[in-house]
Amino acid sequence: MNRLMKPGIRERETLLNSGLLAALGVESVAAMMEIAVIGNLPARQILFREGEPADLLHCVLSGYVRVYKLDPDGREADVELYGPGDLIGASVVLDGGRYTATAQAAEPALIARFDLKRVRDIANRRPDLAVALTHALSAQLAKAFASLANDRLHTAPQRVARFLLAHCIVEGKPASFRLPYQKSLLAGKLGLAPEALSRAFSMLRGYGVNVRGRLVHINDPEALRRV
Amino acid sequence: MNRLMKPGIRERETLLNSGLLAALGVESVAAMMEIAVIGNLPARQILFREGEPADLLHCVLSGYVRVYKLDPDGREADVELYGPGDLIGASVVLDGGRYTATAQAAEPALIARFDLKRVRDIANRRPDLAVALTHALSAQLAKAFASLANDRLHTAPQRVARFLLAHCIVEGKPASFRLPYQKSLLAGKLGLAPEALSRAFSMLRGYGVNVRGRLVHINDPEALRRV
DNA sequence: ATCCCGACTTGATTTCGATCAATCAGAGAA
DNA sequence: TTCTCTGATTGATCGAAATCAAGTCGGGAT
C-alpha cells in the first residue's frame, strides 16, 4: 500500500463518475470524499486476502484488480475482474465479516479506500448511500450469475466470441479494438487456461477474427454471434 | 399465481425469521408486512422469466425455488437455489430493470411477494431496509463467487463431498441426514448432469458415503474432506 | 541493432464430464 | 396387489479443455 493520500482533483473527478458515488446526493458524496484515501498499487500487489477481517471498501480508479479464490493446493480461480469505477469487496459490506476472496492488482492501479465502519455509519444515516450500495451489489450479482451460466452453457470459443461481441459496440459492421488487458487475465476471467484461450482465438480465425498482440479485428460480427 | 392472500399468523412468523426482515426495526417490519402478499405455488410454476420487467421481490417461505438461465437452444443452467427465508430477485432491486434469469418452483412452495416500487419507496425513507437488502445481496454475492470458484476448481466428486460436509453439522463423528431436495435439483445446483451426480455418489462409497433414496450416511467426515 | 525475459502459442496426451440409451426403483393411484 | 410414471442408475461413447512440454514472439534495456 504505497503513497496513501487524500483525493486530489483528478481522483475526485474519477470517484464522482464511479458506480457508487454517481447516484448520491451532494451531502453523501461529501461524506464519502471525506473518508476516501487514495493509494497507488504496483502490479501484483495484494489488496486483501481471503479470510482476513474485512475493514475496507475499495473502488478502482484506474487499472484492473483481479479477485480470486484459492483451493487447498494453491490453484487459483478468478471470480471477478474489476476496472475503473468498480467497487471491490462489496460482498462484505455487512457485519464485520471477512473477505471471501483475495484481491490483487493485475497491473499498476490507482484505488480509493473507504473505512467500512465509517461507510456503515453513513449508510445507516443516509438511505441514498445504502441504496447505491444495493445497486452496485445487484449489478455484481447479475454479472456473477451471467458468468456462472456462461461457464456451464458455453464452450471456450463461444465464451470468447461473446466477450468480443460485448466489446465491439458497433452493430453489423466490421470492427477493431484493443483488448483492455493481458490475454492471461482474460483467460482467467473466462474461466479458461491461457492455452485454451489461445486455441479459441485460432479457431475463431475461421469466423473472421484476427488477433495480433492486443489488437482484435472482427470482420463479421453476425458470423461471430452464430458461435 | 394461485390463492393470493394477506399473510396469516404462520406466514408472518416465517417472514419475521427470514433473512430480510429479521434485522429490521419494528416500523419497517410493519411497512413490509403491509405490502406482503402470500402465494401458494404448485411444483414447476414459473415465478418470472428472464427478460421480463421486474416488478416483484420474492421471499421463499417454504419449499425451494430454482433460478436458471437459458441458452439459445433451450438448455438450462441453474444459477441459484433458494430455500425458506431466502430472498429472490434481489439482483434487480434497483432501477426498474428486468429479471436476469428465470425462477421456477422446484416443488410446491409458499412465497411472499413485495411490490418492488413500494419496496424502493420504503428503502428510500428507511435506511434499515436498504441496509438489510445490502446484507442479503452481499451474502448472495459471496455464495455466487463460491459456486463459481467451486465449479472451476473442483471435480464432481469433490463438489459433492463439499456439499455433504457443509450439510452434516457434526464435526469428527459419523453422521446421517436427509437431502433437502431431489437429486436432480442437487445436480443442477452443483453444475452437474444427474448422471454425473449419480456416479459421484457411487465413487464416494469408497470414502464411506452411503446413499439410499434421500438418506445419506457418512462414516468418516475426515476422509471425505480429503477428496 | 542485440539480448533477454515474460507472455503467448502450438503440440501431444489424458482426464473429466456430457450425452445417448437402456434399464431399474419407488411412490401413488386404481 | 399391479400398473404407471417419474426419477435414478449404469453402461458406452464422445468431445472439450486441463495439463505437460517445447517452442516462438515481442518489447524494453543496454
User: Amino acid identity of B134?
Assistant: T
Q: Which residue of B has its CA nearest to A133?
A: B134
pLDDT of A1 > 60? The answer is no
State how far the Cα of B31 lies from the Cα of B149, in Å rounded to an integer. 38
Instruction: Locate CATH 1.10.10.10 in chain A.
Output: 154-225
Quick one: cell of B211? 446413499
pLDDT (0 to 100) of residue B3: 57
pLDDT tens readout for residues A86-144: 999 777 666 668 999 999 999 999 999 999 999 999 999 999 999 999 999 999 999 99
The CA-to-CA distance between both ends of chain A, in Å, stands at 43
For residue B127, give the nearest of A71, A123, A144 by CB distance. Answer: A123
Phi, psi of A173, deg, nearest 5:
-85, 160
pLDDT (0 to 100) of residue B8: 81
Burial class (CB in 10 A: 0-12, 13-18, 19+), A5: exposed
pLDDT (0 to 100) of residue A25: 95
DSSP B43: T
State how far the Cα of B2 lies from the Cα of B20, in Å rounded to an integer. 24
CB B38 within 8 A of CB B1: no
pLDDT (0 to 100) of residue B89: 76
Quick one: cell of B9? 399468523
More confident residue, B164 or A171: B164
Sign of CA dihedral A80, A82, A86, A90: positive
Q: At what angle do helices A127-153 and A156-167 cross, to 10 degrees?
A: 140
Class in CATH terms, A154-225? mainly alpha
Quick one: cell of A21? 458515488
State how far the Cα of B213 lies from the Cα of A217, in Å rounded to an integer. 54
State how far the Cα of A207 lies from the Cα of A177, in Å rounded to an integer. 17
Query: Which residues lie below 8 Å from residue A58, measured CB to CB, with a gap of 6+?
Result: A47, A65, A87, A88, A89, A103, A111, A112, A113, A114
For residue B191, give the nearest of A68, A80, A152 by CB distance. Answer: A152
Considering only CA atoms, name the residue closest to the C1' of nucleotide C17. Answer: B196
Taking the Cβ of residue A147 and every Cβ of chain B, the question of whether any pair is shorter than 8 Å is answered with yes
SS3 (DSSP) at A208? coil
pLDDT of A81 > 60? The answer is yes
The residues of chain B scoring below 70 in pLDDT are 1-4, 92-96
pLDDT (0 to 100) of residue A3: 56
Mean pLDDT of chain A: 92
- The A 126-155 residues near strand D by Cβ under 7 Å are 154-155
pLDDT (0 to 100) of residue A201: 98
pLDDT of A2 > 70? The answer is no
- The B 173-212 residues near strand D by Cβ under 7 Å are 182-184, 194-195, 197-199, 201-202, 211
For residue A10, the Cα-to-chain-centroid distance in whole angstroms is 21
pLDDT tens readout for residues A43-70: 999 999 999 999 999 999 999 999 999 9
- Is the C-beta of residue B75 closer than 7 Å to nucleic acid chain C? yes
pLDDT of A212 > 90? The answer is yes
pLDDT (0 to 100) of residue A93: 62
Taking the Cβ of residue A142 and every Cβ of chain B, the question of whether any pair is shorter than 8 Å is answered with yes
pLDDT of A22 > 70? The answer is yes
State how far the Cα of A140 lies from the Cα of A23, in Å rounded to an integer. 16
Q: Which nucleotides of D are covered by protein (CB under 7 A)?
A: 7-12, 16-21, 26-27
> What topology does CATH give the domain A2-152?
Jelly Rolls (2.60.120)
CB A38 within 8 A of CB A73: no
CB A25 within 8 A of CB A130: no
Q: In what order do the strands lie in the sheet with A76-82?
A: A46-48, A102-105, A65-70, A76-82
Instruction: Locate CATH 2.60.120.10 in chain B.
Output: 2-152
Smallest CA–CA distance, residue B220 to chain A, in Å, is: 20
**Residue A203 CB coordination number (10 Å):** 16
State how far the Cα of A197 lies from the Cα of A191, in Å rounded to an integer. 9
State how far the Cα of A59 lies from the Cα of A99, in Å rounded to an integer. 15
User: At CA A9, angle to CA A6 and CA A14, rounded to 5?
Assistant: 90
Kindly give the residue spans of alpha helices, DSSP state H, lying in chain A: 9-16, 26-35, 116-125, 127-153, 156-167, 183-189, 194-204, 221-225
Q: Which residue of B has its CA nearest to A148?
A: B148
Bridge-based pairing state of the strands B209-212 and A76-82: unpaired
